[in-house]
Chains A and B, each alone.
Chain A
Amino acid sequence: MLELRKDIFADERDDNLKEIGKGTQRQDMLGHVTGTSTYFDDHKLQGMLHLKVVRSTHAHARLRRIDTSEAERSAGVRRIIRGSDVPRNLNTLLSLINFGKDDEPSLAVDKVRYKGEPIVAIVADSPREAYEAMAKVRIDYEPLPAVLDVEDALKPGAPVVNDTYPKNAFIYHDVYDHQKLRFGDVERGLAAADHVLEQRYQMSPIEHAPTETNGSIAAPDTNGRYIVYTSTQALFFSLDTCAKILDVPSNTFHFIGGTVGGGFGGKVDTLTEPLSILGAMLTGRPVRYLFGREEEMQYGPPRGAERIYIKDGVMRDGRIVARKIRAYFDSGAYTRLSSYAAVKCAAHLPGPYTIPNVYGDVYCVFTNRTPATAMRGFGVTAMDFAIECQMDKLAHLVGMDPMEFRILNAYRDGDMKAHRREAKNTALIECVQVAAEKAKWPIREEFKRASSRKEGGGSRAAIPPTPRESYAPATAPSQQRTTYDRAPATSREPPSPPPPPPPRPLAPSHGAARFSSVFGTRRR
């Protein structure tokens, strides 16, 4: 039975809501239960061809030679597509909002950087004929050392995964190899704490496992335009990505989405549309490109794996006085969306708790693994898992009830968050109280009486003095080079100058300047 606690924050909410608590028919339910919902793959077009992709069998290798001559003669083959056929064969998804550098080819040209990377696309009359031609493509690989661990990837001398980012870390604002959060003096906080607990948390990649695999059908239309039926969960994002890769105006395409048979973040990467459209452009026929189940599971992008270190200082009375976090997001071989996940993660630290000394370093790291992408709360989910595990361990360490421990440390209205924003409309205490009550979990009277709206602010609203870090001039590791990691380093690179200070806000001419973690400083 749904129960709304309207009394708790009655004056903070416009209470003219009319939907919650009522039965409402989902708009797509009738089609689903009667089996009539239309998916992109329900379009069978006259003369439709089928596209399949030959994928890398190595995690990291140089492509010495790609021989498609026998495949071209294979029965039913209409066209073989190589990297050189792709008009702009380098892209990064968030380039549409000017974030990150183009680093990922649609079809690999000189190197493959993860097992399963697309190398050659085959367009044939039937899926079967495409599969038969795939078996006839000869690829001569020169295997290179691969790096599959985020911390190994950041070590000097690690193989360079992605030449666009030669230090194997995404670069923010052209300068920073990680996202940084500093609030107070974490080292002093740890030194003054009664207990210090440091733990390591390692997540796994998680596959979205949609019932409908990624796919699209592109068909030539009149006037040089193309109609694209697609499973994408981000229709116009995919459209603009295709326009960029294929180097045509975006009004060249008419994208038709519809029912997405399971997305969860696994259908934003626009993996099939550029090639199916290119296939249609090169053959003048409708072209269908649909992932097989193994392709989806093995090479469809997963939620990235994160490695998280948390070091907390806690007092005997249960107050957390310092939290130091290092996190490494495994982006796989290319950027996709993990760069943004790291921003979200840094913005989430130190969780919904008021801690006077917080330190966070969050890295987006390249490894020779399948590129990772969005998935439900990515950037936050794994960090929350780690933080909440840590909270339970800390409660145990100081001999406190874990629910009461959270109420004690929860942020309250008026507190200063580590991002130097005042906490407003906080409600963690009330959530914990209700959870304890529903679970019949006994908590003491003083914790039952605690409120998010009492005892916040005051000294808790202060921004503590935060020491500036003295920058040791960074020396570029001599083993890391920008091109293929084969030639020995001849000389040590000169030490690079210290990074320039963060851009100062310009004097506002129209409205106030604000800082965005993604865009840097920009005017409102």
Chain B
Amino acid sequence: MSVTVRTFTSTGEAAAVLSSDRSARYLGGGTLVMRALNEGDISISTIVRASDHALTRIDATGSRIIIGAGVTFARILAERDLGFLHAAARSIGGPAVRNMGTVGGNLFASIPYGDFTVALLALDAVVSVQGGLGSRDMPIEEFLQTRERQTGTLVLSVSFQKPASADAFRYRKIARIKPKGGAVITLAAHLPVSSGRIAGARIALGSMAPTQIRARAAERALEGRTLDAATISAATAAAVEGIAPADNALASGWYRREVVGVHLRRLLSGQE
């Protein structure tokens, strides 16, 4: 069977095909789907595309930011209002990949990829998806936990509250090959501060589990405290609690467990 490409103007039609055809995949920038096809993945027989302009829209004017699923990392890097996400966008691939790869596609990228999604997870993003029966909003954590099933839906956009200050959002990707390597660990932290104390801490980690996860124990260690040395040490010590990373070609699970606290300490204390 050959591969069929179907392009729709409306997201509804595209979503209908995705939900009814198991072998259909949505093609964003093609950095994942075309690679799979070129390497002989015969589970994909239909490629679905949608030309709806809403998919490539960025709304960064208000306090709630909405990024269309088809927005590329190159466009995020060109958007001044999204400066706090530039480090995350720049950490993905080389210029060619950033010109094609999309925010929506990154949600489906498996280890050692999917770095931007780590940032979105720390920002408590909401993923807007369209299934066969209509669209709905879903917390990003729920989306990631059910990611296998989400190939049958169309991601429309992600949205999240803009961090109150530049210091409140931090991102760090640990790779052996710079600047283009796959991640050993990716870390993102959102640390909103309310009257001097952290309120609503989010620590997200990539490559520490089959999908991007939150380091809840570390979040608890930060919650309600000031970001001082003692708090940072407590969060660092809790970084691996309940987390069992796997081995891959870039690093062993043991190594990841050993170093995640080191990198979390650097992230929280603002070290380069």
Contacts and interface: CB of A to CB of B under 8 A. Distances in A.
Contact of B42 (A135, A292, A293): A135
A292 B38 CA distance: 7
B61 interface: no
Nearest to B39: A292
Taking each of B2, B3, B39, B40, which has the highest tally of chain A beta carbons within 10 Å of its own beta carbon? Answer: B40
Nearest to A126: B2
Contacts of A126: 2
Contacts of B39: 292-294
A383 interface: no
By secondary structure, the B interface counts as loop
A52 interface: yes
A292 B40 contact: yes
21 contacts: A52-B40, A75-B1, A126-B2, A127-B40, A128-B1, A128-B2, A128-B3, A128-B42, A129-B2, A131-B40, A131-B42, A132-B1, A132-B42, A134-B40, A135-B42, A292-B38, A292-B39, A292-B40, A293-B38, A293-B39, A294-B39
Contacts of B38: 292-293
A293 B38 CA distance: 9
Contacts of A292: 38-40
Interface in B1-34: 1-3
Contacts of B42: 128, 131-132, 135
Given A292-B38, A292-B40, 10 more contacts: A52-B40, A75-B1, A126-B2, A128-B3, A128-B42, A132-B1, A132-B42, A134-B40, A135-B42, A293-B38
Interface string A106-131: 00000000000000000000111101
Nearest to B3: A128
Interface in A289-308: 292-294
Interface in A123-148: 126-129, 131-132, 134-135
Nearest to A297: B249
A292 B1 CA distance: 20
A227 to B, nearest CB: 26
A47 B77 CA distance: 45
A114 to B, nearest CB: 18
B27 to A, nearest CB: 16
A14 B1 CA distance: 66
B260 to A, nearest CB: 25
Interface in A351-408: none
Contacts of A293: 38-39
A364 B70 CA distance: 54
A331 B62 CA distance: 63
B136 to A, nearest CB: 35
Contacts of B40: 52, 127, 131, 134, 292
B177 to A, nearest CB: 12
